[in-house]
């Protein structure tokens, strides 16, 4: 945080007593910790809205306190939602039971038909020698199995009328599939299926109406839960917004304290600061001008020509500039040292290379001179 760098300036030469520096340092640490916690809470609420498809950015309460408070409020809302859901489920179950009762009447009429006896119990595959039955019929079904499942109390029974309807049709479809269309069982199954479908069409509008109602109620229940969650998070966001305002006030108070505690910069120090600013890189100079603009709304840091009056700046701005310039020039100095060392090494290598080359040329000239002298010698 910028406030931390300001405190470093204070510790170096802005203040006198160490106790005052320590007190302000503790204030900065506390505010920094608070801001970190607030950022976590903001991220939590932002994640909630992202996962629910709402891109609106809001904020909420503390990481731990937030979770507990949200949980507490959600429990209250969820209890109400659960009560309403239980009431809806009980009403839906009652309506479905009534539909099943009406369907049972239809089924009883079909099973009491004189041709229904072949379908009342599972097919005696072994007794009748139907060795290929399970190859043709993948899912055997009979009215005895359907009745047992309708009366089941252990949770394995039918959940709705369409499940029973599907199994009744399966009884007749299996018989028609396995037996030739001229076979008595095939004819009996086809006849009973037609009668069953006629009666089913009379009940179907009520079934469709109930199914539509259940879909609408489920959608409404989901929407109610979502709205309840959003309401909780919106309240948390409002509370956190107040906390953020309090942090801003604390920062402003601390800023005023820092301004009051900063000693005035001497004329010589201001002169050195102005000179140091001219040594900054264009990018760093732009950042320095932004520091000036923070406490000087009329100052334009991005203008093509900037007239910076050092004497007109506040003490806090001057100290912030000094710390910023010192850091940047120190970093630039290290980089310059590295460049100088690199250049020196390159120069040394160049000198060595040139020296070696000169020695090679000198040796070559010497050898040529010796050869010429031998040719010119009278003894040769």
Q: Are residues 225 and 273 in the same domain?
A: no
Please, what is the Cα angle at 236 between 235 and 240, to 5 degrees? 120
Q: Are residues 142 and 42 in the same domain?
A: yes
3-state class (DSSP) for residue 347 = helix
Q: Which residues contact 206 (CB under 8 A, 6 or more apart)?
A: 99, 102
In a domain, 283, yes or no: yes
State the pLDDT confidence band at 7, using cuts at 50, 70 and 90. Answer: very low
Structure tokens at 379: 């003894």
Q: Are residues 195 and 134 in the same domain?
A: yes
Structure tokens at 320: 């912030």
Q: Which of 265, 288, 294 has the alpha carbon at shortest distance from 12?
A: 265
In a domain, 353, yes or no: no
In a domain, 346, yes or no: no
Integer Cα distance of 73 and 83 in angstroms: 16
Mark out the alpha helices in the chain (DSSP H runs): 2-9, 18-51, 63-111, 133-136, 143-151, 161-178, 184-261, 267-277, 282-294, 315-376
b/e map of 345-367 (b: 16 or more CB within 10 Å)? eeeeeeeeeeeeeeeeeeeeeee
Q: Are residues 220 and 244 in the same domain?
A: yes
- Mean pLDDT over 247-268 rounds to 75
State the pLDDT confidence band at 296, using cuts at 50, 70 and 90. Answer: confident
Q: Are residues 243 and 134 in the same domain?
A: yes
In a domain, 368, yes or no: no
Q: Domains in the chain: how many in total?
A: 2
Mean pLDDT score of the chain: 76
Q: Are residues 113 and 181 in the same domain?
A: yes
- DSSP character at residue 375: H
Domain containing residue 295: CATH number:
1.20.1270.220
C-beta of residue 224 within 8 angstroms of C-beta of residue 277: no
Q: Are residues 167 and 222 in the same domain?
A: yes
Q: Are residues 175 and 275 in the same domain?
A: no
In the chain, what is the straight-line distance between the N-terminal and C-terminal CA atoms, in Å?
Answer: 90
b/e map of 236-253 (b: 16 or more CB within 10 Å)? bbebbeebeeeeeeebee
SS3 of 306-345: CCCCHHHCCHHHHHHHHHHHHHHHHHHHHHHHHHHHHHHH
Domain containing residue 123: CATH number:
1.20.920.10
- pTM over cut 0.75: no
Question: Mind listing the pLDDT tens digit for each residue in 24-54?
Answer: 667 777 777 777 777 777 777 667 667 655 4
Integer Cα distance of 72 and 364 in angstroms: 96
Integer Cα distance of 273 and 305 in angstroms: 19
pLDDT for 364 equals 59
b/e map of 13-28 (b: 16 or more CB within 10 Å)? ebbeeeeebeebbebb
Q: Are residues 159 and 121 in the same domain?
A: yes
In a domain, 341, yes or no: no
Q: Which of 201, 147, 138 has the alpha carbon at shortest distance from 173?
A: 138
CA distances from 14 to 254, 260, 323 (A): 15, 11, 11
Q: Which of 278, 284, 267 has the alpha carbon at shortest distance from 327?
A: 284
Q: Are residues 184 and 317 in the same domain?
A: no
pLDDT for 1 equals 42
State the pLDDT confidence band at 198, using cuts at 50, 70 and 90. Answer: very high
Q: Which of 301, 228, 248, 250 has the alpha carbon at shortest distance from 75?
A: 228
Domain containing 102 equals 19-49+86-261
Lowest mean pLDDT among 88-92, 144-148, 174-178, 196-200: 88-92
Structure tokens at 6: 């300001």
Q: Are residues 168 and 214 in the same domain?
A: yes
C-beta of residue 211 within 8 angstroms of C-beta of residue 203: no
Q: Percent of the chain beyond pLDDT 90?
A: 28
| Higher per-residue confidence, 248 vs 55 | 248
In a domain, 124, yes or no: yes
- DSSP character at residue 138: S
In a domain, 59, yes or no: no
Q: Are residues 222 and 290 in the same domain?
A: no
State the pLDDT confidence band at 131, using cuts at 50, 70 and 90. Answer: very high
In a domain, 291, yes or no: yes
């Amino acid at each position: 945080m910028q406030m931390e760098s300001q405190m470093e300036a204070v510790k170096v030469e802005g203040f006198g007593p160490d106790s005052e520096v320590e007190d302000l340092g503790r204030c900065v640490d506390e505010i920094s910790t608070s801001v970190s916690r607030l950022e976590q809470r903001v991220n939590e609420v932002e994640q909630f809205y992202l996962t629910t498809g709402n891109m609106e950015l809001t904020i909420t309460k503390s990481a731990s306190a937030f979770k507990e408070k949200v949980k507490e409020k959600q429990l209250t809302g969820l209890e109400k939602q659960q009560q309403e859901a239980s009431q809806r489920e009980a009403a839906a179950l009652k309506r479905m039971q009534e539909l099943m009762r009406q369907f049972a009447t239809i089924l009883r009429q079909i099973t009491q038909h004189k041709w229904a006896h072949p379908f009342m119990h599972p097919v005696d595959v072994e007794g009748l020698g139907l060795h290929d039955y399970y190859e043709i019929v993948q899912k055997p079904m009979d009215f005895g199995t359907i009745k047992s499942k309708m009366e089941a109390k252990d949770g394995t029974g039918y959940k709705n009328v369409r499940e029973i309807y599907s199994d009744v049709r399966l009884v007749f479809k299996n018989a028609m599939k396995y037996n030739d269309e001229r076979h008595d069982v095939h004819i009996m199954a086809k006849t009973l299926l037609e009668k069953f479908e006629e009666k089913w069409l009379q009940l179907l509008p009520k079934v469709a109406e109930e199914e539509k109602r259940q879909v609408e109620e489920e959608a409404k229940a989901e929407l109610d839960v979502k709205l309840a969650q959003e309401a909780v998070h919106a309240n948390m966001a409002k509370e956190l917004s107040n906390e953020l305002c309090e942090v801003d006030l604390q920062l402003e108070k601390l800023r005023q304290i820092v301004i009051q505690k900063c000693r005035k910069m001497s004329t010589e120090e201001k002169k050195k600061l102005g000179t140091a600013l001219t040594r900054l890189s264009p990018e760093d100079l732009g950042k320095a001008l932004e520091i000036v603009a923070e406490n000087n709304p009329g100052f334009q840091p991005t203008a093509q020509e900037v007239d910076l009056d050092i004497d007109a700046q506040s003490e806090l701005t001057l100290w912030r500039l000094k710390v910023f310039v010192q850091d940047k020039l120190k970093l630039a100095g290290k980089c310059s040292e590295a460049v100088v060392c690199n250049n020196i090494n390159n120069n040394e290598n160049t000198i060595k290379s040139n020296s070696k080359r000169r020695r090679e040329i000198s040796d070559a000239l010497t050898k040529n001179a010796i050869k010429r002298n031998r040719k010119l010698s009278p003894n040769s």
